[in-house]
Amino acid sequence: MAEKRRQFDGLSRELIALRIANELEDGTYVNLGIGIPTLVSNWIEGRDIVLQAEIGMLNTGPLAAQGQVDQDLINASCQPVTEMPGTCYFSDCESFAMIRGGYMDVAVLGALQVSEKGHLAGWNNPERGFPEHIGNIGGSMDLAVGAKKVIVAMEHTTRNGDLKIVKKCAYPVTAVGVVKLIVTDLAVIDVTYNGLVLREVAPGLTPEEVQSVTEPKLIISPDLREIQL
């Protein structure tokens, strides 16, 4: 029996992050979730983008180098980070007040599944075998409902080739109807009222190939093009 695996090669995790960095506008406040989203920070140096860390920090600087590590200065992924000119600190409670309060322009989040309605499932992987009401929620539910725009950064399918862009999320959802844009190793997809619109495909891939690993029917954008980096 053939081993199940990903069918197509596309962008690396770093390049998914770069594609998302290109999507961010200057003058915005952005929160990056755990996983691929964190890598976006590597591509925005010098840009006028302020990163929020939900632990209670605005203007989060790059990861701390060896010897610079300060255990009192970490991001929400528990990585030691650095200060920037303009950094400010506040409590976790205030951090979530600004998240729910609608001040975050963009949240970039990872996902286990995204539905064609923009439902996001990312906090509870049933493979861990917990009851469906417990798991690591962290800040994901607040960010998903609070941010003005939610971008999902993820691989298009699982390592086993299972589909992650689905008609209905089988996994417990983080929030309903919140995802506006999906960026994967294979495609850039807008979530619209009419359905999922395929805007860009990875170099060398056809829209049919992307459709073959996407459960809902994709609407092909009239401006469809290769992902530009």
Partner 1 sequence: MDKVYPSLDDAVADIPDGASIAIGGFFTAGTPVQLIQALARKGAKNLTVMCQSMGPGNEDITPLVVQGQIRKAICNYPFYRSATRGADSPFEKAVRAGQVELEVYPMGTFVEKLRAAGAGLAAFYTPTGVGTVAERGKEKRKFNGREYLLEVAIKPDYAFVYAWRGDRTGNLTCRKTARNYNPDMAAAARITIAAVEGLVEPGELDPDKIHIPGIYVQRVVQVDRRNYIPSID
Please identify, using beta-carbon distances, which residue of 147 and 165 lies nearer to partner 1. 147
Please identify, using beta-carbon distances, which residue of 21 and 57 lies nearer to partner 1. 57
55 near partner 1, judged by CB under 8 A: yes
Q: For residues 209 and 198, what is the distance between their CA atoms, to the nearest angstrom?
A: 12
Query: Contact with partner 1 (CB under 8 A): which of 105, 116, 142, 155?
Result: 142
Interface with partner 1 by CB under 8 A: which range of 20-28, 137-145, 182-190, 192-200? 137-145
Binding mask 32-51 for partner 1 (x = CB under 8 A): --x-----------------
Shortest Cβ distance from residue 128 to partner 1 (Å)? 6
Binding mask 61-90 for partner 1 (x = CB under 8 A): --------xxxxxxxxxxxx--x-----xx
The catalytic site residues sit at 54
Query: Contact with partner 1 (CB under 8 A): which of 128, 160, 193, 206?
Result: 128
Q: For residues 12 and 14, what is the distance between their CA atoms, to the nearest angstrom?
A: 5
The strand order across the sheet containing 49-53 reads 88-89, 57-58, 49-53, 28-32, 106-109, 149-153, 179-183, 187-192, 195-201, 219-226
Residues 153-182 touching partner 1, rule: CB under 8 A, are: 172-177
Q: What's the burial of 22, exposed, middle or buried (CB within 10 Å: 0-12/13-18/19+)?
A: middle
Q: What's the burial of 65, exposed, middle or buried (CB within 10 Å: 0-12/13-18/19+)?
A: exposed
Which residues would be at the binding site for partner 1 (CB under 8 A)?
34, 53-57, 69-80, 83, 89-93, 95-97, 99-100, 119, 127-130, 132-142, 145-146, 172-177
